[in-house]
Amino acid sequence: MDAEIIAVGSELLTPYRLDTNSLFLTAELNRSGFRVRRKHVVGDHDEDLRQVFRGALERVELVISSGGLGPTQDDLTRETVSDLLGRKLKLNETILRGIQERFRSFGRTMPDVNGRQAMVPEGAEPLENTRGTAPGLWIEQNGKVVVLLPGPTSELQAMFVREVKPRLARRGGNLRLYTRDLRITGLPESEVDQRVSPIYKQYPGAETTILSAPGEIQLHPRVWSDDKAAATKLLDELVERFRMALGENLFSTSGEALETVVAGELQEHRATIAVAESCTGGMLAARLTNVPGSSSYFRGGVVSYSNDLKSAWVDVPKELIEAKGAVSAEVALAMAHGIRQQTNATLGVGVTGIAGPGGGTPEKPVGLVHIAVVNEKSAKERTFRFPGDRDRIRHQATQAALDMVRRYFPYAAKAKG
């Protein structure tokens, strides 16, 4: 069964606000057996509303909208949809009393304009709003369903769970969506595609999407099925083949962030970590401490922007900086060793580079980053040249550093899932 989502509100057509309700609605619809075919954002404008609802009703079984149910003049969804479906609006006394009561409970009298919110199209079922004044509407027409929900997120979510979900359970198809969320780092999108597309093409029962995010590639295989065991088996098999093709580059099969996977490795191996950062300016420490419970493995970090502090805080010899430059493999290694010794951590990480936009030279261009990961006995250094602006360079540098830490641990023959 297919659904379309319509977000109504002129403010959603400005540069300042996105429709975020559709993420929640999509997750819930998928669970109820509906596939989201399209999403629309439309202003509070009669003719546009008519067109978008009419088009959606021609295509899909379920049309669900958010917004435009408020008391003011500019909210038109209720009236426009009723008219489009050829239904008269009638005052519902129970709803009116409910709205009046809600205002009274806040010590106020209901303004006249709110009376509009008690108008219900003939044959429609009002959906109770436990968090606000605008009731929702459930309207069945020619075997299809139109659901109008209020725009404020807390009202929409509460109403969906309480009023819409049980009704959908009786209508959704037998099919449910089963999905996995694979995360890959260290390979570009095109390389991931070359490795995995010959595999997923052999599984027409699964739809696989490749998604590129800064510093990582995501792979989302999805199976619609009425047989949970069969869907799970198919996904397990597909994921196993992806794993073989991607090897150690695959770091999660359940959508975990890289820092969460690294945190798991550190905790599993009872290892601790400390970081000395230059160009990433604290972002690596921030990501490592973003994981709840990080105090069990994160010892500490320094942001040694200046050469003096590289020497003072992590014992990088002044002569080394003079000889090789602050942005060099040798200094990254010295920073990693220095911070490890300072903090008695299992692993020390050093990051130095040029995030730009200024500071680049022909020999040491913007995007050049040296990363070192060391333990008591061994040391590893890699040199990167990241593309993009300051923000992207810094993010990719933290991603690469986290990945080097992850790979420090023996590969468990499977990504954490």
Residue closer to a copy of itself (CB basis): 154 or 361: 154
Alpha helices by DSSP H, 92-227? 93-105, 153-159, 165-169, 189-200
d(CA 39, CA 25): 11
Q: Minimum distance between the CB of residue 8 and a copy of itself, rounded to whole angstroms?
A: 11
114 in contact with a copy of itself (CB under 8 A): yes
Q: Minimum distance between the CB of residue 88 and a copy of itself, rounded to whole angstroms?
A: 25
Q: Minimum distance between the CB of residue 101 and a copy of itself, rounded to whole angstroms?
A: 14
Site string for a copy of itself, 157-196 (x = CB under 8 A): ----------------------x-x------xxxx-xx--
Residue closer to a copy of itself (CB basis): 282 or 417: 282
Stretch that binds a copy of itself, among 165-173, 216-224, 227-235, 262-270 (CB under 8 A): 216-224
Inter-residue contact 130 to 158 (CB < 8 Å): yes
Stretch that binds a copy of itself, among 24-32, 121-129, 327-335, 371-379 (CB under 8 A): 24-32
Residue closer to a copy of itself (CB basis): 124 or 256: 256
Q: Where are the beta strands (DSSP E) in 273-378?
A: 273-277, 298-303, 347-353, 368-374
Q: Minimum distance between the CB of residue 122 and a copy of itself, rounded to whole angstroms?
A: 27
d(CA 389, CA 214): 12
Choosing from 202, 212, 361, 383, the residue that interacts with a copy of itself (CB under 8 A) is 212
Give the total of residues touching a copy of itself (CB under 8 A): 101
Q: Minimum distance between the CB of residue 3 and a copy of itself, rounded to whole angstroms?
A: 10
d(CA 364, CA 73): 61
Inter-residue contact 147 to 78 (CB < 8 Å): no
Q: Are strands 273-277 and 347-353 parallel, antiparallel or unpaired?
A: parallel
Choosing from 104, 228, 233, 385, the residue that interacts with a copy of itself (CB under 8 A) is 385
* Burial group, residue 70, by CB count within 10 angstroms (0-12, 13-18, 19+): buried
Q: Three-state SS for 333? A: helix
Site string for a copy of itself, 219-238 (x = CB under 8 A): -x-x----------------
Q: Which residues ranging from 82 to 111 are in contact with a copy of itself (CB under 8 A)? A: 106, 108, 111
Q: Which residues ranging from 240 to 269 are in contact with a copy of itself (CB under 8 A)? A: 255
Q: Minimum distance between the CB of residue 357 and a copy of itself, rounded to whole angstroms?
A: 5
Token readout for 99 is 């709205």
Centre a 10 Å sphere on the Cβ of residue 277 and count the other Cβ atoms it contains.
27
Taking CA atoms, 116 is separated from 84, 99, 111, 204, 341, in Å, by 18, 10, 10, 50, 70
Residue closer to a copy of itself (CB basis): 59 or 88: 59
Print the SS3 string covering 247-276.
Answer: HHHEEECECCCHHHHHHHHHHHCCCCEEEE
Choosing from 352, 356, 402, 406, the residue that interacts with a copy of itself (CB under 8 A) is 356
Q: Which residues ranging from 289 to 348 are in contact with a copy of itself (CB under 8 A)? A: 289-290, 292-295, 298-306, 309, 312-313, 342-343
Q: Which residues ranging from 65 to 84 are in contact with a copy of itself (CB under 8 A)? A: 70-74
